Structure 1
């Protein structure tokens, strides 16, 4: 009986370990989107922690303003270092407003900070959407 209780306790301790040992980490990104040289408003920007074996964890989401500018800070908890990417969903160059075009970028690990506020922002600069490959996404 005592052996069974110890086994159960050890099992639940192992299950809880990732939640206990996970570190809060933060990343910040900013940039500007243009479409054919003009500011692109209303694009969706989503920040993710890319996981290999499980679904990606969404860290944050925003939209570009009327000047095409976006700024996004996201926080997540992981035992290891966050593996951050951001996705842009847009309709630049689409004739029918069905689905979006999607493009993804990796954020360098050096922009991931411990804690709840980024120590430095990743500046994506100005991204011209009309020059990107067109990957269709209808489920964002």
Structure 2
């Protein structure tokens, strides 16, 4: 029984090492700005992820909006398949009690995922008005 466990572990390790060698570096970059009731929204968290179906999403990068509500975020992930990129925004626009955050998630079109360590295209998210978004709550982000 112990031998089977060791053999299984060794095969899993070999698969991981072998698949790592054939994984392709893929990158994505997103820029945009956030407003709350028409005014720039500084200090919102913006996180870039590779969405995975059967495992936890891989966080590729994290930033905050500047004093003008602007963000520019990019990240790279090595994957066997094409990245399923998304970005999440965590904010407190129109939140009267500053406990937890509102969360909004946006898919990034596959056309903006490029091969290599740096994104060769930029997904322009435009100006996002936070006060009109669907309001999911997130206390752990």
Provide TM-score, normalisation by structure 2. Answer: 0.90
- Residue equivalent to 2:128: 127
Number of corresponding residues: 135
Residues 82-121 of structure 1: matches in 2 within 5 Å? 82-121=83-122
Whether 1:66 and 2:96 are equivalent positions in the alignment is no
- Residue equivalent to 1:51: 52
> Could you give the per-residue CA deviations for residues 81-134 of structure 1, whole angstroms, max 9, x where no partner exists?
110010000000000110000000000011011111111100000000000011
Structure 2 CA distance for aligned equivalents of residues 11 and 76 of structure 1: 21
> Could you give the per-residue CA deviations for residues 47-73 of structure 1, whole angstroms, max 9, x where no partner exists?
000000111000000000000000001
- Residue equivalent to 2:4: none
Name segments (4+ residues, structure 1) moved above 3 Å: 7-13
Q: Provide structure 2 residue ranges, at least 5 long, that are not aligned to the other structure.
A: 1-7
Structure 1 CA distance for aligned equivalents of residues 72 and 43 of structure 2: 13
Structure 2 CA distance for aligned equivalents of residues 29 and 11 of structure 1: 35
**Alignment RMSD, CA only?**
1.8
- Whether the 8 Å contact between 1:18 and 1:78 is mirrored in structure 2 is no
CA distance change for structure 1 residues 95 and 16 in 2, over 3 Å: closer, same or farther?
A: same
**What secondary structure, in the 3-state scheme, does the structure 2 residue paired with 1:19 have?**
helix
Shift of 1:12: 4.4
Structure 1 CA distance for aligned equivalents of residues 93 and 43 of structure 2: 10
Residues 24-35 of structure 1: matches in 2 within 5 Å? 24-35=25-36
CA distance change for structure 1 residues 57 and 11 in 2, over 3 Å: closer, same or farther?
A: closer
